[in-house]
Amino acid sequence: MINPLRRTSVVAGGIVGLWLLASARPALAYPQFQFSSGTTRCGQCHYSPSGGGLITSWGRDESGDTISLGGDGSFLHGATTLPSWLALGADFRAAFLYNNVGGPESPEIAKIPIGSSFYLPFFPMQLDVYGRAAYEAYSLNVTIGDRGVVRPVDPTLSGRTGDFAARLMSREHYFMWRPSATGPYVRAGRFFAPYGLRLAEHIYFVRRYTGFNLYEETYNLSGGYVADDWEVHATAFLGIPTSLPDFLGAVGIPESGGAVYAEKRFAGMAALGVQSRIGIASEEARYQGGAVGKLWIEQARLLVLAEADFIRQQVPAASAGQNQFVSYIGATYIIRGFMAGAAYERFQEDLAVSGTGRNAYDAEVNLFPGAHFEVGLLGRYQKAQAVAGGGPDSSAASLAMIQFHYYL
């Protein structure tokens, strides 16, 4: 006799596994485009001074002229021209996902039914709409999106993922004062504080375990200064209470604190960044700091990205804590219309406890056949030092994902 709760949990497990790995992601930029596309600052192609989200007219031009194989990157492919005070955009991703964690139920492939007997091996991964209205140096920036769905929701499971309206949320909305592309700026609202490499995929350890996992955007008061060869960003943030409506909901322990990121660029081909973040909540506190490195090797068309962070997590109620280490190093070959890279990641959950480390190896290929279009392939293999069960299957997990991306 199978425990109904266990059966429910087993069904949920498969769904949740795919969800965990492939739900909608914030429309972060590719840090790989820094230096390799001829631009040195993230804020050249994005309205956000630290990159990500809605792209500027410069960025739209670049998408057709230098990144993809051609085409008009303008809004609606240039069919209409928006007034200068208004910028709009949208991102849509559909993805194929293969997930293998071993065991008799693996591998799993995400799919959505069409009718009663036909399945599409894809799921809607991202649907985000962006708007920006500006008056002189002031702007209001809003992103509204729908959380991705790997599968239609199993009716035997409860939860808050059942319908489109319930999944709507605004992960970014902020006012900004930014008189020019370089120089000082101030912004207030919800977004990710500038920190780290800001990789697009939230499953990477340096995002997942540093306070920047999916939907962990905080409410911030942030300011900084951006120059041609250096920039600095300082952010004070408030955690989002779980009591807020889903539309404004957040994930993660609601820490409040501050983050600082400073980057110095050298000769348009390298950058070195330092960073620190303190997040304090009623349940725990995290003190972390680290460094970022970027190196563009023009002759080889190769960009090397690296990040390392030490984290001290303290739990006052338990009078205890743990020290963590998380890192990423990757190299990407980039030519017009094509990008291929490999990366190694390391996360040590507790430096004082053996067997709590895990490694991940990633391979990515991105094709940009034309402005507005992208096909991305991601392969990931994870291996732990010592895990539950002890069997050979339990220490490894792998996934493969193909994304079809269109932006308006």
For residue 235, report the phi and psi dihedrals to the nearest 5 degrees: -135, 130
Which pair of tokens denotes residue 163?
Answer: 């319908």
Q: In 19-122, at which residue ranges do the beta strands (DSSP E only) sit?
A: 86-100, 108-109, 112-114, 118-120
Is residue 3 close enough to count as binding other proteins by CB under 8 A? yes
314 lies in the site for other proteins, by CB under 8 A:
yes
Site for other proteins, residues 317 to 356, rule: CB under 8 A: 317-324, 349-356
Distance CA 287, CA 278 (A): 5
Is position 143 an interface residue for other proteins (rule: CB under 8 A)? no
Q: 189, 397, 405, 407: which one contacts other proteins (CB under 8 A)?
A: 397
List the interface residues with other proteins, window 100-119 (CB under 8 A): 101-106, 108
Residues 173-202 within binding reach of other proteins (CB under 8 A): 202
Owner of token pair 């709009």: 88
Q: Which of 19, 33, 368, 407 binds other proteins (CB under 8 A)?
A: 19
H helix or E strand, kind and range, residue 6:
helix 4-22
- Token code pair at residue 201: 């995929």
Report how far apart, in Å, the C-alpha atoms of 250 and of each of 182, 213, 243 are.
31, 10, 9
CA distance readout (Å), 162 to 106, 153, 247 = 25, 6, 14
When binding is defined by CB under 8 A, the residue of 49, 64, 189, 252 that contacts other proteins is 252
Least separation in angstroms between residue 231's CB and other proteins is: 13
16 binds other proteins (CB under 8 A): yes
Q: Among the candidate windows 57-65, 121-129, 181-189, 267-275, which touches other proteins by CB under 8 A?
A: 267-275
Show the site string, 351-370: x = touches other proteins by CB under 8 A, - = not: xxxxxx-x------------
Stretch that binds other proteins, among 59-67, 88-96, 332-340, 389-397 (CB under 8 A): 389-397
Question: Which residues on neighbouring strands pair with residue 325, listed in sequence order?
Answer: 310, 348
**Smallest separation, CB 376 to other proteins (Å):** 19
Residue of 41, 93, 147, 178 that binds other proteins (CB under 8 A): 147
Number of neighbouring beta carbons within 10 Å of residue 221: 15
- 31-90 residues near other proteins, rule: CB under 8 A: none
Min CB(351)–other proteins separation in Å: 6
Quick check: 327 and 199 in contact, CB under 8 A? no
Residue 115 Cβ vs other proteins, minimum distance, rounded to whole Å: 26
Q: Which stretch binds other proteins (CB under 8 A): 7-15, 27-35, 75-83, 369-377?
A: 7-15
Q: CB of residue 81 vs other proteins: minimum separation in angstroms?
A: 37
Helix, strand, or coil (residue 49): coil
**One-character DSSP codes across 106-135:** --EE--EEETTTEEES-EEEEEEEEEEEEE
Could you say which of 65, 72, 146, 284 contacts other proteins (CB under 8 A)?
284
